[in-house]
Amino acid sequence: QDITGDILEKNSAESVSLDQVQEILDRFRGTIEQIPPMLSAKRHQGKRLYDLARQGIEVEREPVQVEIHRLDLVRFENPEIELAVACSKGTYMRTLCHDIGAALGCGGVLSKLVRTRCGALRVEDSVDVGLLKDPDSVREHLLSPDVALDKFAAVVIQDSEVGSWLTGRAIRGGAILSRTQDFEKESILRIKSRDGRLVGLAKSLFTSDQVDRLGGDLEVLKPVRVFPKPF
């Protein structure tokens, strides 16, 4: 499934048309199943698949479900196809290329892979590794963990609650001032002070609606990570 691997089979893709590619791509949008490759971190009877593969052992793998949120055709110059993909965690990109090639009838292999985004972090915002040689440049480009964690809803707590939170105490319903969005029970939440500092992560013991109703001195958010030095 990788261009650097051993060639197992060669086929011609001359007959593959743009219409065929578009039709096949439709099948791979949404919820799909993938069989994890042997060179993956999945476990089989307690052992990593890649460790077994390096011993020349191949085992049967159960398919897993993944989500392909977006699958756009960027370029088609037979026999090359360039795709832009937005997918769920755990998606095997090499397997996706392999399976699309198999569906086209000619086979497929991944020749290049660029991760353009992970959560709120975009490749456009990255910096050249050469800049890291200068300590001042490093500080200039550092991002707050709050940026990387922005997929989690944020909860703002009273200033009087921050001190006890930093000692590892749970948050009372009555200490919550606001939130950025609704959340479910056992959601991971960012905990912020009134001045916007990130002071930790918590797990909700109730839904946001229940928290609104309960309030008072009932503990509703349990510490997961406390940041003694707020960001």
SS (H, E, C) 109-135: CECCCCCCEECCEEHHHCCCHHHHHCH
Mark whether 31 and 108 lie in a shared domain.
yes
Determine contact, residues 154/180, Cβ cutoff 8 Å: yes
Looking at the fold, whether 151 and 198 belong to one and the same domain comes out as yes
Q: Is 200 inside any structural domain?
A: yes
Kindly state whether residues 30 and 109 are assigned to the same domain.
yes
What was the pLDDT predicted at 92?
95
Query: In angstroms, what CA-CA distances link 74 with 77, 82, 93, 108, 208?
Result: 10, 5, 16, 17, 41
Check which CATH number belongs to the domain holding 162 and give it: 2.30.130.10
- Predicted local distance difference test score (pLDDT) of residue 83: 98
d(CA 188, CA 202): 6
The answer to whether 145 and 121 have CB atoms below 8 angstroms apart is no
State whether residue 27 is helix, strand or coil. Answer: helix
One pLDDT digit (tens) per residue for the chain, 231 residues: 777 777 888 889 999 999 999 999 999 999 999 999 988 888 988 999 999 989 999 999 999 999 999 999 999 999 999 999 999 999 999 999 999 999 999 999 999 999 999 888 889 888 888 877 887 778 788 888 888 898 899 999 999 999 999 999 999 999 999 999 999 999 999 999 999 999 999 999 999 999 888 878 899 999 999 998 766
- Both 25 and 101 in one domain: the answer is yes
Q: 41: domain CATH number?
A: 3.30.2350.10
Alpha helices in the chain (DSSP H): 18-27, 49-54, 93-104, 135-141, 145-148, 159-166, 208-214
Asked whether residue 139 is assigned to any structural domain, the reply reads no
Burial of residue 122 (number of CB atoms within 10 Å: 0-12, 13-18, 19+): exposed
155 domain residue, yes or no: yes
Over the Cα atoms of the chain, what is R_g?
24
Indicate whether 129 belongs to any domain: no
Tokens representing 97 are 């290329």
Range of the domain at 218: 145-226
| Residue 221 included in any domain | yes
Is 8 within a domain? Answer: no
Query: Which of left, alpha, beta for 82 (phi over 0: left; psi -120 to 50: alpha)?
Result: beta
Residue 154, both tokens? 């944020």
* Domains in the chain, number: 2
How many angstroms separate the CA atoms of 141 and 131, rounded? 9
* Residue at 128 is within a domain: no
pLDDT at 2: 72
Classified as helix, coil or strand, 209 is helix
Identify the domain boundary among 99, 114, 129.
114
